[in-house]
Structure 1
Amino acid sequence: MNAYLEWKWIPRGIALGILAFVIFGPLVNLLLWTVAERWYFPHVLPLKYGFSFWANVFSPRGNAMSSLGTSVFIAVLTVILSLGLAIPAGYALARLRLPFRGLILLALLIPQAFPNLPVYVNIARIFYQYGLNGTILGVVLVHVTHGLVYAVWIATAAFSAVDRELEEAARSMGASALRGFRDVTLPIAAPGLLASAIFVFLESLDEFTGTYFVGAPDVTTLPLLLYTAGSGGNYQIASITALILLVPSITFMFVVERFLRSDVLSKVGH
């Protein structure tokens, strides 16, 4: 019996090792490519390490910094427009007895329910008629179609988690509906709205397909630069660009974990 217990940890250890390899293996490979000066088959590890490709990426001709600036600018505009629509929509869905409320929330998932490629091809065709192809505005509008899913659903959950009695107490003390919303409801729902903004920002920052069909070649974001480098065989450039995109994603995920409370998550979809 004791011998069985002593050997029982082996299959669990193997399973955890395989899981760790699946999760962290691609990340380790990515990090190796960012410092690999020479690396080719059949060598398991790079033959030469260095940071010369980092200098190429951040040089003016590397276009990484301008692409990063464009990506951040588009993401910020996407967040502003998405929250501008999501806050009133989320409050209405959380507080008002709207008919077909469930269908409205379900309709917001439609952009995620279909393959992205045919959706973006048709959006690009429509945008071409209105001169939105190759413009920042066109790319932002495409990003908003996906960002609204996170924004409205999380905003609805955030407002649903706010106790109605707090609003009623503010109204009983003479506050108007707008002031009660501004001074009571909005500050309490702010952590959930912040998490919503972060999700929309990251979704926009990493978006490739919609940006490619609507914005390329006039609008160059970091994901487009990553695709161009990878398809051209410049794996060092592609890996460094991917690492730049990975940093804000990991950072903001910790922020989301801090601000998105369990009581808010329990209201998602309700």
Structure 2
Amino acid sequence: MARAGIAATPAGRPVLSLDLWWIPRGMVLGLIAFVIFGPLANLVLWTVAERWYFPHALPLDYGFSYWGRVFAARGNAMDSLANSLIVAGLTVVVALALAIPAGYALARLRLPFRAAILIAFLIPQAFPNLTVYVNVARLFYQLGLNGTIPGVVLVHVTHGLVYAVWIATAAFSAIDAELEEAARSIGAGALRAFLDVTLPLAAPGLLASAIFVFLESLDEFTGSYFVGAPDVNMLPLLLYTAGAGGNYQVASITALLLLIPSIGFMLVVERFLKSDVLSKVGR
């Protein structure tokens, strides 16, 4: 912030002084804002650009005709959007069904090699996706899962499980075990204590876990391409096809469809994923 003050000269006359450090600070903040919001502004412009080519800095014509083409009956956008939402929803269900018991066991039980188990969920992220999915596609083709929604869901679960298990473990670790013991002491069984006490308290963390898995599935391209294409159309595949074909309007509209839920859900995560849960991640 700029600092202004009144200083006295040797003659005793007051002189206004001004701290000019706000100039470089403002320039740095402006540069950061441009780096973050510049590409987003360019994306939004492309969604309404009818004609835009070099050397013009702004579109020559604006309109929504490309929105009509994207959502036309013959377009693939609605099918791709529906498939993406279905796959992401099923991925969340499967991932949480595995992550809730796994996270509870890792948080409450004294398991041997607990740290190694947690690290094992990172293995799918440790190898290049391309080589892994080529072999997965070959295996799924033999099993009849290639080009099917269940096959795509299985691939997405392997990537989303690391978020689901790690955050679920942190959520359960942040809950005092004495609360369960108190419920057990007044006659509640183990399952009843878990359902009535532990699970509701862990719900915000589990909700954040579900959102992370949903967003990971919604944006997953490599697995969707090698396992699902061309039978299962997804929004990332439509984005890639439009961008590779030079149709930047369609690609930008598709990217905006992917961006809106990401921003909205991340705001929800920021609200529900508290610092006490984050401090338990990986512990």
TM-score, reference length from structure 2: 0.93
1:131-170 matches, within 5 Å, as 131-170=144-183
Per the alignment, in what secondary structure is the counterpart of residue 53 of structure 1? Answer: helix
1:25-174 matches, within 5 Å, as 25-174=38-187
Instruction: Indicate the structure (1 or 2) with the bigger Cα radius of gyration.
Output: 2
Amino acid in the other structure paired with 2:30: G
Per the alignment, in what secondary structure is the counterpart of residue 42 of structure 2? Answer: helix
Amino acid in the other structure paired with 2:31: I
Amino acid in the other structure paired with 1:245: L
2:207 pairs, out of 178, 190, 194, with 194
How far does residue 114 in structure 1 lie from its aligned partner after superposition? 1.6
Cα 1:171–1:226 change in 2 (3 A) is same
**Residues 1:216 and 2:250 are matched in the alignment:** no
2:274 pairs, out of 256, 261, 269, with 261
Structure 1: unaligned runs, 5 residues or longer: none
Per the alignment, in what secondary structure is the counterpart of residue 60 of structure 1? Answer: coil
Per the alignment, in what secondary structure is the counterpart of residue 74 of structure 2? Answer: helix
**Cα-to-partner distance string for 1:239-268 (whole Å, 9 max, x where unaligned):** 011101111111111111111111111110
**Residues 1:250 and 2:263 are matched in the alignment:** yes
How far does residue 7 in structure 1 lie from its aligned partner after superposition? 2.3
**Cα-to-partner distance string for 1:153-178 (whole Å, 9 max, x where unaligned):** 00000000111010000110111111
How far does residue 5 in structure 1 lie from its aligned partner after superposition? 5.5
Per the alignment, in what secondary structure is the counterpart of residue 50 of structure 2? Answer: strand
| Percent of aligned positions that are identical | 79
How far does residue 217 in structure 1 lie from its aligned partner after superposition? 0.4
**Cα-to-partner distance string for 1:6-56 (whole Å, 9 max, x where unaligned):** 321221111111111110110000000000000001111100000100111
Structure 1 consecutive aligned stretches of length 4 or more whose deviation exceeds 6 Å: 1-4
1:229 pairs, out of 242, 254, 258, with 242
CA distance in 2, matches of 1:100, 1:203: 28
Q: Select the structure that is richer in helix.
A: 1
RMSD: 1.3
Amino acid in the other structure paired with 1:219: V
How far does residue 65 in structure 1 lie from its aligned partner after superposition? 1.1
CA distance in 2, matches of 1:170, 1:6: 61
TM-score, reference length from structure 1: 0.97
Equivalent residue for 2:188?
Answer: 175
CA distance in 1, matches of 2:71, 2:249: 13
Equivalent residue for 1:8?
Answer: 21
Equivalent residue for 2:7?
Answer: none
Per the alignment, in what secondary structure is the counterpart of residue 43 of structure 1? Answer: coil
**Cα-to-partner distance string for 1:138-192 (whole Å, 9 max, x where unaligned):** 1000000011000000000000011101000011011111111011100000110
Equivalent residue for 1:185?
Answer: 198
CA distance in 2, matches of 1:158, 1:208: 29
